Structure 1
């Protein structure tokens, strides 16, 4: 009986030791480092570590880009970002980044829509769950604009394809 208990205890110890000797490296928990960024300045992409709210970043981006701000109301932009986040299942930060990216792409093609306006327009054109992401909606909008559609025609086409089913 003692021999059986010894073998049992030895097998438990051996199993525990082998369990700790896997090939996987132990995961280190890194504290998220904040960037300390509180002003837009010349940044072109809002990271998760930046301490700027996406709505503030968008308004400041519009101002520093030389555009007449479409709105100075951070609350209005925040509500638009929240609605887009719920609709497209992206974070407000990612939507802000994608909208600025779309704005730049359109400006290279002669467009003049701001990121804030683009968020609002795409929010109005696409129903929840009808397209993969804000980036996908923006890419389709861009493709139509590049193909010669006006902004209104492109939004109308997106609304017909991805709007609320009738």
Structure 2
């Protein structure tokens, strides 16, 4: 019996030590908000304090830009107009725009981020209580572009379809 109690005590101590070590490891890996002025993260995370418009303009330029740079101001405006018609927040819209830009670049169909945002904003302009899903619009845009249509023709096709399957009512 005494041997069993000592074994149970040893197991408890070792599990406590392991759990304490896990807590320390998890604390080291905890996500911390950042607002770097000198580098551009690959993607914006939920806790990232980076301004999505500034990040997106910097990604397009290939380097960080000043807060008051004309490209940043223009991108913020494009992002704000797009955000009005989509369910996703500005951070997610910015991430999806970069993702779409990379996909288009891989097939030789580069588009400026602001051009994409402004085109999508025109299609998804708020229609009562309905907002569009940005990620799905990006996928449809990419699929149409890979069929050979240009930017304007692709936007026209998306507009004609009115993106009905891509809408969701908001409360």
Is this a same-fold pair by TM over 0.5?
yes
TM-score, normalised relative to structure 1:
0.67
Shift of 1:124: 1.6
1:52 and 2:50 aligned? yes
More moved, 143-152 vs 32-41: 32-41
C-alpha distance in structure 2 between counterparts of 1:82 and 1:154, whole Å: 22
Match of 1:152 in 2: 152
What does residue range 37-116 of structure 1 map to in structure 2 within 5 Å?
37-39=35-37, 41=39, 43-64=41-62, 72-116=70-114
CA contact (8 A) 1:40 1:60 kept: no
Moved more, 48-57 or 124-133: 124-133
TM-score, length of structure 2 as denominator length: 0.65
Q: CA deviation at 1:40?
A: 6.6
In structure 1, how many angstroms separate the alpha carbons of the residues matched to 2:124 and 2:48?
29
Q: Please tell me whether the aligned partners of residues 131 and 137 of structure 1 are also in contact (alpha carbons under 8 angstroms).
A: no
Could you say which residue in structure 2 is the equivalent of 1:18?
none
Tell whether 2:133 aligns with 1:133: yes
In structure 2, how many angstroms separate the alpha carbons of the residues matched to 1:109 and 1:138? 15
Q: Deviation per CA, 1:18-57, whole angstroms, max 9, x where unpaired? A: xxxxxxxxxxxx9x84342424735221112222100100
Q: Stretches of 4+ moved more than 3 A in 1?
A: 129-132
Q: Which 5+ residue runs of structure 2 have no aligned equivalent?
A: 1-26, 64-68, 164-171
Larger radius of gyration: 1
Q: Secondary structure of the equivalent of 1:45?
A: coil
Q: Classify 1:96/1:40 alpha carbon distance in 2 versus 1 (closer, same or farther; 3 Å).
A: farther
